[in-house]
């Protein structure tokens, strides 16, 4: 869990888009249980004044890989062009980065206490169904054996590809992976995010969890969508992505989230 969190923080920091605590090291807890993850101390307070700045920063995080791809494409048109892209900030060169063309992540990360299958995939819809939704459905079936969910699942799987017909191409975006009100804050100078479950995925998935927390929605979303406008079919895909969020809550906290999963699934299948 800590190794995945450390890798996620390092990946976010490498983009230079959203401030987050710099990881230090992971230590075994001596003879006691568990481990200890040491990271940079920040003076955090509840997100208030910097909600719009957070929206812009998260949009920039989601656009970072696309921008790398564009720069690489320009490099390919030059004699001796390279896929490596050197980013510059404040007149100083930063470490050379390469874009990512697949969905997944280089190491296992955890959403809550459950591990995510981040095996690389070329197809987002297949990745989302097989490596995000299905493991949650299987976990719930094994633990609670819910018949309604089991019966809805095959119909939902057949329906999902229709929700992406209006999108020509989904470019992998680095996601925080668990961006809700409990994992954002601010310092005196700007917003901060932490406790990531990073992977490269569809940027719209990131927005689904944030909708459930009204503490920063009013300024966050307009700022975000100024940089990344809503695409055709956004509202229906948002329901799909909320199903994943509620399946995750159900996996961690029990069937009290069943009604949301069933209602959203039924609504999607009715259209």
Of 92, 54, 97, nearest to 72 by C-alpha is 97
3-class DSSP state for residue 110? Answer: strand
Tell whether the torsion through CA atoms of 227, 267, 210 and 112 is positive or negative: negative
Residue 261 CB burial class (10 angstroms; 0-12, 13-18, ≥19): buried
- Decide: 184 and 54 in contact? Cβ < 8 Å: yes
Beta strands 35-39; 88-89: pairing state = unpaired
Catalytic residues: 178
- Decide: 5 and 110 in contact? Cβ < 8 Å: yes
Residue 251 CB burial class (10 angstroms; 0-12, 13-18, ≥19): buried
- Decide: 111 and 133 in contact? Cβ < 8 Å: no
């Amino acid at each position: 869990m800590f190794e995945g969190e450390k890798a996620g923080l390092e990946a976010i920091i490498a983009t230079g888009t959203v401030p987050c605590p710099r990881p230090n090291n992971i230590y075994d807890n001596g003879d006691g249980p568990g481990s200890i993850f040491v990271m940079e101390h920040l003076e955090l307070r509840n997100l208030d004044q910097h909600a719009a700045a957070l929206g812009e920063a998260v949009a920039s995080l989601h656009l970072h890989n696309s921008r790398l791809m564009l720069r690489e494409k320009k490099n390919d048109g030059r004699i001796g062009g390279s896929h490596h892209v050197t980013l510059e900030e404040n007149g100083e060169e930063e470490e050379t980065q390469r874009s990512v063309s697949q969905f997944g992540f280089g190491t296992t990360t955890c959403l809550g206490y459950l591990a995510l299958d981040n095996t690389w995939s070329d197809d987002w819809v297949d990745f989302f169904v097989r490596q995000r939704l299905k493991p949650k459905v299987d976990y719930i079936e094994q633990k609670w054996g819910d018949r309604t969910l089991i019966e809805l699942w095959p119909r939902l799987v057949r329906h999902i590809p229709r929700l992406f017909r209006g999108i020509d191409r989904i470019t992998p975006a680095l996601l925080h992976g668990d961006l809700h009100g409990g994992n954002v804050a601010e310092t005196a100078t700007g917003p901060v995010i932490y406790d990531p479950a990073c992977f490269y995925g569809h940027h719209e998935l990131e927005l689904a969890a944030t909708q459930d927390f009204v503490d920063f929605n009013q300024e966050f979303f307009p700022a975000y969508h100024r940089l990344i406008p809503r695409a055709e079919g956004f509202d229906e895909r948002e329901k799909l992505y909320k199903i994943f969020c509620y399946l995750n809550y159900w996996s961690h906290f029990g069937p009290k989230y069943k009604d949301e999963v069933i209602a959203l699934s039924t609504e999607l299948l009715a259209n």
